[in-house]
Amino acid sequence: MTDIAISALPVASSTTGADLLPIVQSGVTKQLTNTRLFTNATLTTPILGTPQSGTLTNCTGLPVASGVSGLGANVATFLATPTSANLASAVTGETGSGALVFATSPTLVTPTLGTVASGNISACTSSGMILTAPVLGTPASGVLDNCTGSPTFTNVKFSGLVVTTAPAPTIASATTIAPTKPITFISGTTAIVTITAPTAILSGGGTITFIPTGIFTWTAAGNIAVAGTAVVSRALSLTYDVTTTKWYPSYV
């Protein structure tokens, strides 16, 4: 084949699939069609620049860690190894730690629950539950051996015993007194006419105990059923009845 200078070639035009491309190798001229060259060609370890467009539908082997851009921190690690720990590292604003939790039959370890809209704890058996400021009704029974803090109990009874949470206070006898504890020391000698019932007793009745440290009297002019005189150091129990709104003393 005679060499032809590039400048002597005719003006280039668009090729078609049937166009022939001559190739000279070791003195032998071969022909290669345009279709054979560019259709279904297999490239071995090519270095591609920045393609203007393309479709990667059938491509495989793309490394997530280095082949995908625009991912958030640690997201590529999670996509490659989707563990609970890697997910926690990839998300922000999470609370708690440990394994990923789904809705059905999860196991929660020492959770702190907020305000629960509804639920059923009939099958609960653990004693490790922590309740914040619960409102308890009238328990049938219970054990408070391991309780801590400073709970406030009003006229709470356990096995028939009245439990107080602090030493009994002392108030002076007066025309009207308002005891707030199950047991109260009463000093002075002024006659008592009215005893204001504590809130816990006012709605359903109950009993309080006075320990006199002075010789005072009480009259029947107010809400005490019968008059009487206190005896120093002799406990005086008064039972309040909501029907009659009267206090009934243990002695007169």
pLDDT in the model for residue 162: 63
What pLDDT is attached to residue 138? 65
Distance CA 140, CA 126 (A): 19
Q: Cα(31)–Cα(34) distance, rounded to whole angstroms?
A: 10
Give the Cβ contact number of residue 86 at 10 Å.
16
List the Cα angle 91/96/99 in 5-degree steps: 75
Which pLDDT belongs to residue 193? 97
Number of Cβ within 10 Å of residue 85's Cβ equals 14
Place of tokens 């356990």: 158
Residue with tokens 């000698």: 189
- Residue identified by tokens 């539950």 is 129
Residue ranges for the chain with pLDDT beneath 50: none
d(CA 185, CA 207): 15
Given this model, what pLDDT does residue 153 score?
55
pLDDT, tens only, 6-35: 677 777 667 676 777 777 777 787 777 777
This model's pTM is above 0.85:
no
